A and B are shown apart, each in its own frame.
Chain A
Amino acid sequence: MRRFLHFWWDFIVGDDWRVAAGIALALGLTAALATTWATAWLVLPLAVAAVLWLSLLRVAS
């Protein structure tokens, strides 16, 4: 069971869980802003760029 869960964790989340967590937060923020802010579409691309850079910096620092 542990190996089964580990396989799915590795398959979906990969080696930096912060990326998955950041994307979940960004999607939540987008959903919260979507009904009240017409340019809420900006949130996710900017979050993707930020999450990716922070994850890269963890390796490159």
Chain B
Amino acid sequence: MGVTRGWRSALAGAAVASLALAVIVAALGPALTVIPIEVLRLVVGSLLLVFGLQWLRKAILRASGWRAVRDEDSVYEREAAAARAAEHEERAGVDWYGFTVSFKGVLLEGLEVAFIVLTFGSTQGSIPLAVAGAVAALVLVVIAGVVVRGPLSRVPENTLAFAVGVMLTTFGTFWGAEGAGVDWPGDDAALPVVLAFVLAVSLTYVGALRRRRLAPA
């Protein structure tokens, strides 16, 4: 949006969306702390599992060749052409199209981040620490973007999606089972074992689906 419609509108949309996300985290964070921890872990675990499996499923299908890896260059070209072609309408001093698209993009993607921050923070008893982690990640991404100055196509997107899927599925499995009343052998020490299991299963599935795709019909 910044390149095609102007940075002022794009940054204004992103800033307002960030503010909305901050309000959501500030409002929901304290509310979550009054829910009993077992109930919270069950709900959070279920949601993380469903989210994680969505990510993992897509990443495995892409890694094994059953779904095309996103071509960021062509996506960028398509979106840029649509943005250039859109009508110019100025409201309150900003280009309304640029503002709305930036706002919507940052808010929708940010909702997923806000959800992860709230759930990880509330189940571990420290939402501010989870917020600090998310802010640190954001700063790192911005620094990397400025240093590299490369297009998104250079980011190993599917590898990142695979890693996120494995992590979310691991935490979802761990907390979901705890919330359902299970005691893990070794308590928190079971977490790396669950992580290794999810990773091994996912990599096995990538290999199996690759062989399945290449096998003669």
CB within 8 Å of B: which residues of A?
A: 11-16, 19-20, 23-24, 27-28, 30-31, 34-35, 40-41, 43-45, 48-49, 51-53, 55-56, 59-60
Contacts and interface: CB of A to CB of B under 8 A. Distances in A.
A27 to B, nearest CB: 5
B50 A13 contact: yes
A14 B212 CA distance: 25
Scoring B51, B179, B180, B213 by chain A CB atoms within 10 A of each residue's CB, the highest score goes to B180
B169 A48 contact: yes
Contact of A52 (B45, B67, B190, B201): B201
Contacts, number: 94
A51 B51 CA distance: 14
Nearest to A50: B201
B53 A51 contact: yes
B66 A60 contact: yes
Interface of chain B: mostly helix, strand, loop or mixed: helix
The number of chain B residues touching the other chain, given as a range, is 35 or more
Contact of B197 (A19, A27, A28, A45): A45
Nearest to B202: A52
Interface of B: 42, 45-47, 49-51, 53-54, 56-57, 60-61, 64, 66-67, 111-112, 169, 173, 176-177, 179-185, 190, 194, 197-198, 201-202, 205, 209, 212-213
Contact of A34 (B64, B182, B212): B182
A52 B53 contact: yes
A56 B10 CA distance: 38
Contacts of A44: 173, 176-177, 180, 182
